[in-house]
Chain A
């Protein structure tokens, strides 16, 4: 099967959901005109990233009667969408979330499970921790969504792989940092290395949508890209500038890559689980080390 995937490397207005929604809808039109079947937006694309005390006031619910999701669900009748937003659950906990929309319905919602709360990041102050990593079926095969820090930990991509995801949809609002003599800031390179490594090790497709623009002095670097099951970068957007990139995904590549390199076939999940259980049990019984 072949389909066209699009990555929306956009800027956002901080805390202005109506303005960001309008931008989403215009990018949907642009992507559709280019023949896209699936359009991936970055992390918190409806709200902007460093929300701080704006968090509660920009939350949405992925339902048809929501002012932001109503038009987005309607738009998802034309092409599938992955949207970043603040999800407020029934008990008023706020999550950094991604929703996969298709055919006017919500196919899946992922809540970010790793909230960076160190250095320049303060997500744990404002958001609840997601507690679930699940793959889900789409009309383009089984996929999984992860948000930024989620894929700086190896376990969520690994879990999605075991859960049947053949495409990882990664969304970021990743700020550039780490200035050296190299022609990029080091975080730009790290994300590229992570994404291509996952694609190669899991012999799966990895699509990464990162935003651009500034929030105060933070500079979101873009560099959105699609990686093939051989770990190769198939297409990428420029660093730091807005872009809409489209790429044809040939899902038959999974067949060819896994015939060549049967890492999935040989993965020993029972061994992994047994050893994990032993490690967790030993950590529970052991005294804190000094």
Chain B
């Protein structure tokens, strides 16, 4: 069985150094992030607070009218535990007019609108407070495409994107994220009763191990089946990773000139810093 255990001390050191470096090297001092009450954003908040000092972190709670009250309370626990600055911006009056304009909108569309509204608020706060948006997406959801493009996937830097969900739990425990947040079922809380594992059809525990073999250890799908994973599960996950790759790339540009952004105009973002 793959072992996804991480040494939380070294990971903590790398991620807090990363957040500090990537924000301060461009002349910024502050971070802004959406705090949902869930585990990923709680951990991102702890990391940002340790990296920059809590006074330099703004956590924004952005509930919708159906959001679980528990989410708001759990976000408050994180704000109190870290001492970060906080702000609550209801998204209900912003998204309802669009829902009324398209009354037959599916839950997925509504969820996407809500995620993108939250992105608008965070990037607006980024501009208002001269801060950078810290992302909260983990490796599991990025690989599975379990996010809204230009919604919760949008950020300026993401300290969590190379940690599987089960590793997020380990690091969260080590950094003092309240236990009630670590142990509750993960949920995007976009509609009542939604849970990640219910929607995905498998547990993070299961899929993290499979993704680790496929991605980190470069196993073929067949080798994963031989290692004991059910073939439909393996095929389903492999297909999901492929189908959602568009969420992991910049928009595709049609090549015309001799030098085209993305193909042969290549620089790191940290160019000059």
Contact = CB atoms under 8 A, between A and B. Distances in A.
Interface of A: 13-16, 50, 52-54, 176, 179-185, 213-217, 219, 240
Interface string B230-273: 00000000000000000000000000000000001111111111
Contact of B7 (A13, A50, A180, A219): A180
A15 B269 CA distance: 12
Q: Which of A54, A213, A216 has the most CB of B within 10 A?
A: A216
Interface of B: 3, 5-7, 9-11, 13-14, 17-18, 21-22, 25, 162, 264-273
A168 to B, nearest CB: 28
- 3 nearest A-B pairs in the assembled complex, by CB-CB distance: A52-B266, A181-B5, A214-B21
Contacts of B268: 14, 50, 52, 215-216
A176 B266 CA distance: 22
A15 to B, nearest CB: 6
A14 B266 contact: no
Nearest to A182: B7
Contacts of A215: 268, 270
Contacts of A216: 22, 268-270
Contacts of A184: 7, 10
Given A53-B265, A53-B266, A180 B273 contact: no
17 contacts: A13-B273, A14-B270, A15-B272, A50-B268, A52-B267, A53-B265, A180-B7, A181-B7, A182-B7, A183-B9, A184-B7, A184-B10, A214-B22, A216-B269, A217-B18, A219-B17, A240-B13
A18 to B, nearest CB: 12
A181 B14 contact: no
The dominant DSSP class at the B interface is loop
Nearest to B5: A181
B207 to A, nearest CB: 18
B17 A15 contact: no
A184 B14 CA distance: 10
A180 B266 contact: no
A54 B7 contact: no
A115 B5 CA distance: 32
Given A16-B272, A214-B18, A217-B162, 16 more contacts: A14-B268, A14-B272, A14-B273, A52-B266, A54-B271, A176-B14, A179-B11, A180-B3, A180-B7, A181-B6, A181-B7, A182-B7, A183-B10, A184-B10, A219-B17, A240-B14
Contacts of B267: 52-54
A48 to B, nearest CB: 8
